[in-house]
A = this chain, B = another copy of it.
């Protein structure tokens, strides 16, 4: 397992559509963690270029994350009403599969160390084909039931996404009420009690002591998103960076994409959350020009400020330095806690 070979038990969460860059992934992997190329929303060609850029920067292993396509079928009337509410700047809502087959074909031809999946679990055949090509396959799950499906499909490791995590919930089906919303620590203990695979929790793990916590609870490594969003290697928008450094509350919303995701509360969320339908990626395409314009003018009230609940603890350090500090901080926290218990 790649996880056994890392110098530091730290995986950089793929952050599609914003902060992730090949430079960030390469810096984390080169420092002895595991970087990820966020291929979601990217065309197969851009994914290929991103992978080439990471390969040019480091010989260390890294991962690629893909979105599992959902269903084109949505409540068309609710979707039309929502697009109307968004106003004349809205784009055309439409379904797409995020280049699924082309991305898989590319990854079979030119395998990377790890291929991870979000929004579902690929079939056992797809998992087997990637493993045959030489990759480990990781699945993102949010419940013990999803963890069993991923195990049965042949996954090599599970990313356990807690409700604290920023960005999209990785639920397989985006249940209407959002589902139970297990925290990362709870999900870790529930899954560890029944499934014998390496577990990589994510959500709210932003400093050394939180990393120590999940390692103590049995995690093989932690998957950190918000922690890396202020790194100079990340392409996080300046307005987004400023919001992350405050204690602004986060909330779950479908307003931006039609799928539940956690971000810092802003005016766009307050205006639209109550009316946003379950319609992904349809709504994501509809809001795309609105979000792009707000990013351009650095307006924090106009686009998605994805952030985990502990975003205020993120630090603006170069990624390699951050990886080393988080790892050292975790070890110190573990040793101190063990010493207190044995006093």
Contacts and interface: CB of A to CB of B under 8 A. Distances in A.
A86 interface: no
A341 B204 CA distance: 21
A251 interface: yes
Contact of A190 (B144, B312, B327, B334): B312
A204 to B, nearest CB: 4
What is the total number of copies of this protein in its complex?
A: 2
Interface residues of A, number: 52
Interface of A: 9, 144, 162-164, 177, 179-186, 189-190, 192-193, 203-207, 209-210, 212-218, 247, 249-251, 308-310, 312-313, 327, 330-331, 333-335, 337-338, 340-342
Counting from the closest, the 5 A-B pairs by CB-CB distance are A183-B183, A186-B204, A213-B213, A212-B216, A213-B217
A25 to B, nearest CB: 23
A42 to B, nearest CB: 30
A205 to B, nearest CB: 8
Given A164-B182, A212-B337, 16 more contacts: A162-B183, A164-B185, A179-B249, A180-B309, A183-B184, A183-B185, A183-B309, A185-B204, A189-B204, A189-B313, A190-B310, A209-B218, A213-B213, A217-B333, A335-B338, A338-B338
Contacts of A247: 144, 190
